Structure 1
């Protein structure tokens, strides 16, 4: 098994917007729904919540409005065991809200987040003790798309080169085309992805951003040589981790998919949790897959993990046993990117 470079143990700080989410219950197209369930949705807080599930100290740093939605968001994230003490309440700006609209060809999301509290996040946030004391800071491309000040925050976090920052930076590309009206997504996200210590990207996402010539994970690695660890997720097929010149691929298990949004965030959290506790590449990728499956099986972004004993058994399984687990688990589903 391949040894992984890993950051020093310590808390993980996840920075980005979380919104109130209204989700049809049961999972049906929005226009046919009779009931909407109130939930919360945000890529970075999804990662923090799953890290907390894996007993990794996790903080979520952001801003919410002084409104019921903001209080709901802060409470729900904190109930998962995440430290929300550095979340700021903005009395002038509202908390963002989204509606999920499931359909036959995936889930569309309708946003009400323009001029939200979190869109005013700025580089000064990086001086907060909740950030400066972190072993690892997790960011996504979603934050960079929210506003000029948010993009400046991500730019500043990645300004120094790999190895020169006071904390390790994990970056999930998380491309959301609807948020990039200025056409700069491909250039900006490529620059950020190549400057992070750890980068997560989907193969289909990379192709949509940077071209269909990126035919496989190896091609993506050639394009993004900068990260110490690059993880390329190929939907419901497999995920590949590159550590320097070495690579390791682990197939995804079969999952009965209820709703795919949030699975990419869960994968990142599982992978980072394994990384921080010293696991090898295979176990890190497996824990990413198992955590993603928890999100795929529920209509919201955050589902319960399997029993810890079952997780440990699967992490220690042989390749053949891992394959048997996947074949017996139901209908295969995509490990997709996180909630916008």
Structure 2
């Protein structure tokens, strides 16, 4: 398969809010537990941490309160190998907080982030020195939902036409209904922003919620024709990548589909971010779509196996074995241990 367009190999910058996170231990409904575990949670910092795990130089830009939660968040992201020296400390606004409520049907998340330090971010974030040497800027649809200034930040990043940008931009739709005033606003804004990015990630379920219940992956591509590469994630079943590959005379649209690996799911939140990191890492090292999708699935599986958003990756030898497996052996190569039951939950969206 031709590789076609890829972002240049170089540093990545991720921009967005990360919060302190409280989750029941063991992972049961909040109604009946006595203990909560403190961790950190943020879509863009999740991507940054997994990119660091995969050997990519990566920075995270955001703002945190001058409080214990903020110090905890900064230390955790830095410990994963991410450059956090560009993260601001806001002396007046708090660090955001979320509380997870695991339910049999879906994990619910309660946000306490109104007026947070990160909600005051604006377009000036894009003047950070780290972006001068970046090959890729990663954003998500969570940021424009936080405040008008955050929406301006994302719009300014995408205002420059793709061929004139100093770096490629990836955008994960990451629809969080609780953050938007109404469904119509979310649908309009997220489609507008996604269609202007170079690389876009969207779950089939969230595309159906936003833009039409009957949408299938090829229909999402017709709706979002602008991105150079579009990835549609169909829960625990498969991921589809669409790319305009360079042909001898004309651009040819290529679709690549890779089934998900069977995985024992402990808690699904964070797996979508892990998938994005794996896919981006594959693109940055020049992989074709099939190998990039496989690396996305491998990385997502590590998040599905833990109660936090960030789990350990397989060793490098195992990753290369999975990436190099024949198509017919791919799913079996990733089978869980004998006797385990694969739970193919949707990867990583919180309500």
Scaled by the length of structure 2, what TM-score is found? Answer: 0.94
2:298: which partner in 1? 290
Q: Is the 8 A contact 2:325 2:333 kept in 1?
A: no
Match in the other structure for 1:72: 72
Q: Which residue of 2 aligns with 1:319?
A: 327
Out of 334, 337, 340, the residue aligned to residue 345 of structure 2 is: 334
Superposed displacement of residue 242, structure 1: 0.6
Answering whether residue 158 of structure 2 is matched by residue 158 of structure 1, we say: yes
Runs of 5+ unmatched residues, structure 2: 245-252
Matches of 1:88 and 1:338, distance apart in 2? 27
The answer to whether the Cα contact below 8 Å between 1:22 and 1:36 also exists between their aligned partners in 2 is yes
Which SS does the other structure have where 1:69 is aligned? helix
Q: 2-side partners of 1:206 and 1:326: how far apart? A: 28
Answer yes or no: is 1:201 the counterpart of 2:188: no
CA shift, 1:325, in A, is 2.3
Q: What is aligned with 2:82?
A: 82
The answer to whether the aligner puts 1:146 opposite 2:146 as a matched pair is: yes
Partners in 2 of 1:193 and 1:67 — Cα distance? Answer: 34
Q: Cα deviations across residues 180-222 of structure 1 (Å, max 9, x unaligned)?
A: 01441000000011000000001111000001231x2111001
Instruction: Give 3-state SS (helix, strand or coil) of 2:331's partner.
Output: helix
Secondary structure of 1:119's aligned partner: helix
Distance 1:175 1:234, change over 3 A: same
1:237 paired to 2:237: yes
Q: Is the 8 A contact 2:108 2:350 kept in 1?
A: no
Is 2:271 aligned against 1:263?
A: yes
Q: Is the 8 A contact 1:146 1:179 kept in 2?
A: yes
Quote the RMSD (CA, aligned, Å). 1.3
| Cα distance in 2 for residues equivalent to 1:328 and 1:105 | 22
- Report the TM-score, using the length of structure 1 for normalisation: 0.97
Equivalent position of 1:300 in the other structure: 308
Moved more, 153-162 or 72-81: 153-162
Which one is further off, 44-53 or 176-185?
176-185
Alignment deviations for residues 300-333 of structure 1 (CA, whole Å, 9 cap, x no partner): 0000001110000000000111121245564132
**1:124 and 2:124 correspond:** yes
